[in-house]
Amino acid sequence: MAPRNLSMSLVFLFTLFSLVIGHEGVGNSGKYPIVVSTWPFLEAVRAAWKAVDEGFNAVDAVVEGCSACEELRCDGTVGPGGSPDENGETTIDALLMNGVTMEVGAVAAMRYVKDGIRAARLVMQHTKHTMLVGDRAAAFAISMGLPGPTNLSSPESMEKWTRWKENHCQPNFWKNVLPVDSCGPYQSKDNMGLNKGVCSEAKAMGIIESRTSLVGPHNHDTISMAVIDKMGHVAVGTSTNGATFKIPGRVGDGPIAGSSAYADDEVGACGATGDGDIMMRFLPCYQVVESMRQGMEPKLAAKDAISRIARKFPDFVGAVVAINKNGVHAGACHGWTFQYSVRSPDMDDVKVFTVLP
């Protein structure tokens, strides 16, 4: 009986040990938590890392990180006080996505409220909708307790707008129009009988007018952040004040799930930045995550998503960063040199990675 009892005891202990090790593997494999963000927004990544390292879930950590970037007005392209539209006004786009539940909250073209990512979380928490826009988004956010109404312009943004007006409102986002004066209002050339029956040689050949003068690292720096928390759960978020000198009412890819960001707890996440008007037509982050689901490594998935856009728009400017559930991350870009930031358990501080086109 003694040998049999000893054997049973050893089996029991081995089974218990296996269960303990297995549970720890699910909760924290050693590669979590991890924070990844577009651009060298170091303080934003540090804020997200502090939150997730203290036990916050991925959604809340993303909010902390993006909110820090909004408060710091990262590069003048996140938060209030930057990227004036044609009327000199700053508006906010933001998105938050939970990779566990696939819930999304977003706000677009939001005026009067500076806290874009927190407004997006309120949409996720307190409505059955995915996105609210414009003044109604602001009214909702204020009703839910966010500060406002607030003038989102700043002396810097107004000075930039004034210089643009003095330069005859160039460059701008209009096409196939004629201005009444140098800064509009604009009229369609078709309505003036100038384009009837005419198909330009460029359009016939599928060539798209260059947009490089409109988009660059310092007027299109969306923060797109992904966090995997200690339990291995994934979330993403974005915040931006959009394209500088955009036509009022324009919404870019910032609040569009699958374009600026996407997360799936089973696979990983993606963040994007660049010419949102072009990128949102291809849903690059959805493409990246689905490619990783099919077995692609993050580097190849990122390159594939960017190449799909570049084939149609050779002059486009943009980038994506991908991370899978194993903590492997990579970026890809076109038209500019891209940098993204990472903080993981094996790092003493945020590390910036550079990606060449």
Residue type, 38: T
Tell me if residue 353 falls in helix, strand or coil: strand
Mark residue 238 as left, alpha or beta (left: phi above 0; alpha: psi -120 to 50; beta: remaining): beta
DSSP, collapsed to helix, strand or coil, labels residue 318 as strand
DSSP 14-58: HHHHHHHHHHHHHH--SS-SEEEEESS-HHHHHHHHHHHHTT--H
The residue type at 297: E
CA separation for the pair 116, 253 (Å, rounded): 14
* Ligand-binding site membership of 99 (annotated): no
**91 annotated among ligand-binding-site residues:** no
Task: Please state the separation of Cα 74 from the chain's center in Å.
Answer: 14
Please give the chain's pLDDT, 357 residues, in tens: 454 554 444 444 443 333 333 332 223 346 899 999 999 999 999 999 999 999 999 999 999 999 999 999 998 899 999 899 999 999 999 999 999 999 999 999 999 999 999 999 999 999 999 999 999 999 999 999 999 999 999 999 999 999 999 999 999 999 999 998 889 899 998 776 655 554 444 444 343 455 555 665 555 579 999 999 999 999 999 999 999 999 999 999 999 999 999 999 999 999 999 999 999 999 999 999 999 999 999 999 999 999 999 999 999 999 999 999 999 999 999 999 999 999 999 999 999 999 999
pLDDT at 215: 63
- How many of the other CB atoms lie within 10 Å of CB of 329? 21
Query: Could you give the CA distance from residue 263 to residue 268 in angstroms, rounded to a whole number?
Result: 6
**253 among annotated binding-site residues:** yes
Helix (H, G, I), strand (E, B) or coil at 137: helix
Counting every residue written for the chain, the total comes to 357
136 is in an annotated binding site: no
Q: Give φ, ψ of 236 to 5 degrees.
A: -135, 160
Task: State the pLDDT at residue 195.
Answer: 53
Strand partners, 34: 228
Q: Could you identify the residue written with the tokens 């000198």?
A: 245
In this structure, are residues 93 and 239 in contact, taking their beta carbons and an 8 Å threshold?
Answer: yes
Tell me the catalytic residues: 222
- Per-position DSSP letters for 84-144, written without gaps between them: --TTS---EEEEEEETTT--EEEEEEE-S---HHHHHHHHHHH-S-SEEEHHHHHHHHHHT
| Structural domains of the chain, ranges and CATH numbers in brackets | 34-154+213-355 (3.60.20.30)
85 is in an annotated binding site: no
Residue 354 pairs with which residues in a beta bridge? 339
The whole-number pLDDT of residue 16 equals 38
Counting runs of H as helices and runs of E as strands, what totals does the chain give? 10, 14
